[in-house]
Amino acid sequence: MSIRIAGTGSYLPERILTNADLEKMVETSDEWIRSRTGIAERHIAAPEESASSMAKIAAERALDAAGVSAKELDLIIVASTTPDYVFPNTGCCLQNLIGAENAFCFDLCAACSGLIYGMAVASSMLKANRKYRHAIVCGSEKLSHIIDWSDRNTCVLFGDGAGAVLLERTDDGNDDDPLPAATLASDGRSAETLMIPAGGSRMPLTPELLAQRQNCIRMKGQETFKLAVNSMVSASRQILEETGYRPSDLALVIPHQANRRITQAVAARLEIDPSIVVDNIEYCANTSSATIGIALDEVVRNGRLKRGDLLLLTAFGSGLTWGSMLLRY
């Protein structure tokens, strides 16, 4: 038995917001944004688009790539910090949109680490119960809905989009194969480093809080940067040591696309060849739980990732959450 990626898919909204556009909205500049983040533009969802509608397109593309019908899905996991509703879960909304009537569905909230968390959960469930064969994990975010467009420190960072990964259990593998393997971690002591203060049961949204934009992303930038680098490096080293692989064995590394300086620092500390580190932040920006799925679909479709390649995924997000996953494509 083995778990493999059978298909990938992604979706980016049509509208593009460039750094030049942001110069007209807040006190910033293209040079300032590029030099500090590597971002040149980001995609912004249309008013009628939602986490489920974007996930639908990404999921259908993954199903089509795998040659699997929606009715063959046993499990749907949607990772999102911007779900359609408080409840029902967006996984159920996605199930309805694609006609996956035989799947059970739930959401997972681990912010930017969501896709890795979801893939780890899905692969474990496929291994544990042989009646499950196909699981789709989607990271989908409409972050433009929770951005304070007057805060130049955060509004330049984020974009919208969705990525999907279809996992399949096959019976032609080795039960002793450790891949895919994941190491996941959290630290709630630093939860206030990156958060949305209001809108939950702890601080229900009021007109006063809405006027203060307390329903938008708040981030301590320098602290987040340090924690992100340290956490992704630690998790990546741990998973490589546990599985017996070395950085030189990797074909590609897909880190969460939060900031180019973060990915460069992670690669340098892990002594990974920068040429194998996937970077699409320039034209996608930070799409939270969707970044890794979007980047993965990109390298699959352009032929940069080939069957048999060893792939490392690593992410860091609010919570705090972080983790790394090692798998063979």
Catalytic residues: 112, 256, 286
Q: Is the CB of residue 31 less than 8 Å from the CB of residue 205?
A: no
**Cα 313 to Cα 291: distance, rounded to the nearest angstrom:** 11
**Cα 141 to Cα 55: distance, rounded to the nearest angstrom:** 9
Q: How many CB atoms lie within 10 A of CB 204?
A: 9
* The residue type at 291: T
**Cα 266 to Cα 272: distance, rounded to the nearest angstrom:** 8
* The residue type at 111: A
Q: How far, in Å, are 142, 151, 169 from residue 146 at the CA level?
A: 8, 12, 37
DSSP per position, 209-220 = HHHTTTTS-EE-
Residue 30 exposed, middle or buried by CB count within 10 Å (0-12, 13-18, 19+): middle
**Cα 272 to Cα 19: distance, rounded to the nearest angstrom:** 30
DSSP per position, 1-18 = -EEEEEEEEEE--SEEEE
Q: Is the CB of residue 59 less than 8 Å from the CB of residue 290?
A: no
Which residues in 133-156 are b (16+ Cβ under 10 Å) and which e? Answer: bbbbbbbbbbbbbbbbeebbebbb
